[in-house]
Structure 1
Amino acid sequence: MTEQEADLRHQMVRLCKSLFDRGFSVGSAGNVSAKLPDGILMTPTNSTLGSLEAERISKVDASGKHVAGDRPSKEVFLHQAFYETRPRAGAVVHLHSTWATAMSCLVDIDPDDCIPPLTPYVVMRVGRVKLLPYVKPGDPKMGEMIRDLNGEFSAALLANHGPVVSGKDLFSAVCAAEELEETAKLLIALEGRKTRLLTPDQLTELNNTFKGL
């Protein structure tokens, strides 16, 4: 095992525990991955993000073949689809976090922009978010739907399921997933109130200043 892989395994343990301890993940919900030069590290199936063991984190090669650690999450293809269509993505975080999952259950949100630009930080760290139709957990169609986005979105809400977010590295992906969750919480808290969203000119300024993945 390379030093890079060992460091990334320990970083995944630390950041996943942080997500779990702060309630972004419960039970065995959610899965996280990070890209290596020779494959992908992936949280194991039926594991809890709060008690990962570095040496037991799964590793799959570029083709998705399991090569080390425990068996990977059944949603590994969801992560692979982001890496294949967003070459600069270095990590993917899929959670069942409360508020973003609540947003994914609403019927009156824009499927092409389902997290309105409420703050500059959701624009800078997450960007536009696509709502994808419901399929059962573990269905390979999830990967197909991500591929069909052609790399145009760094994040999506899986209808009635939860958010999935990519980032340039593991820390960035975790921060983006947290920003998405907090923005969803704000949106639901403000529901029914007259809300001031960022203007098109403000969005253009942010997008020109803070280039994402």
Structure 2
Amino acid sequence: MSAARHDLAATGARLASLGLSPGSSGNLSIREGDRVLITPTGADLAAIDADRLTVLDLAGTHLDGPRPSKEFPLHTAFYRRDPAARAVIHLHSRHAAAISCRPAWSQRSALPPLTPYFVMRVGQTPLLPYAPPGDAQQAADMEQLTFPFRAALLQNHGPVVSGPSLAAAMDAAVELEETAALLLTLGGLPARVLTEAEARAMADKYGMPWSCHPG
């Protein structure tokens, strides 16, 4: 078994143990050169069979294994738009999904910079307009966005994050969920967010995309 297959199964189990992947929701992938390993349709992230993963090329062509998750267009779109992306995680985690049902904080990020950790681990996270799960046009529209990002919220659906490694993508998915939970906990209470200068300093230090303004 390749290390990538083992890591994918272990990451799925970890995300499920954290309660971020209810039922058979969610899907994960990892890029190896010009090939993508992705969880098959209906996979339970708590019990991924590392020997039964789907293999795609970067265009999304099915090369081997069972039928891929219906969300594969989002995964391959992330890899095509960002050569540094090596892993993609899509979840239906409760708090991030709840935030996806609310208006975005800004044009480029659904969530404000409540903490430095959100900026340094996730970065700006655009809210993508609603589309049915697996919609290829939504993935194509996301791929064409002209500003950088490593995570997005699918409206009325949930988060999708990428990273330079599977570990980094998992950290981003967890941090995004925690930031969403914090935002919901604050409710309508007045809250301080990082200033533009503070957020920019964190983004620059950790090499994360951030060019947001509220509104």
Q: Same fold (TM over 0.5)?
A: yes
1:131 to 110, 119, 127: 127
In the alignment, what sits opposite 1:75?
Answer: 71
In the alignment, what sits opposite 1:112?
Answer: 108
CA offsets 1:125-182 (integer angstroms, 9 cap, x no match): 1101100110111211121121121461111110000011110111100110110000
- What is the letter of the counterpart of residue 85 of structure 1? R
Please give the residue correspondences for 1:172-211 in structure 2 after superposition, counting only pairs within 5 Å: 172-211=168-207
The Cα of 1:54 is off from its aligned counterpart by: 0.5
Q: Quick check: 1:170 aligned with 2:166? A: yes
Q: Quick check: 1:33 aligned with 2:29? A: yes
Give ranges in structure 1 of 5+ residues lacking alignment: none
The Cα of 1:110 is off from its aligned counterpart by: 3.0
TM-score normalised by L of structure 2: 0.92
In the alignment, what sits opposite 2:213?
Answer: none
Q: Secondary structure at the match of 1:67?
A: strand
Q: Quick check: 1:89 aligned with 2:85? A: yes
Q: How many equivalent residue pairs?
A: 209
In the alignment, what sits opposite 1:142?
Answer: 138
In the alignment, what sits opposite 1:50?
Answer: 46
CA distance in 1, matches of 2:168, 2:34: 21
TM-score normalised by L of structure 1: 0.93
- What is the letter of the counterpart of residue 176 of structure 2? L
CA distance in 2, matches of 1:141, 1:11: 30
> Relative to structure 1, is the Cα distance of residues 51 and 208 closer, same or farther in structure 2, using a 3 angstrom cutoff?
same
Give ranges in structure 2 of 5+ residues lacking alignment: 210-215
CA distance in 1, matches of 2:83, 2:146: 11
Q: Secondary structure at the match of 2:51?
A: helix
Query: Are the equivalent residues in 2 in contact too, given 1:85–1:150 (CA < 8 A)?
Result: no
Q: Secondary structure at the match of 2:29?
A: strand
Among all aligned residue pairs of Structure 1 and Structure 2, give the percentage whose two residues are the same amino acid: 44
| Structure 1, 58-67 or 13-22: larger mean CA deviation | 58-67
Superposition CA RMSD, Å: 1.5
- What is the letter of the counterpart of residue 73 of structure 2? F
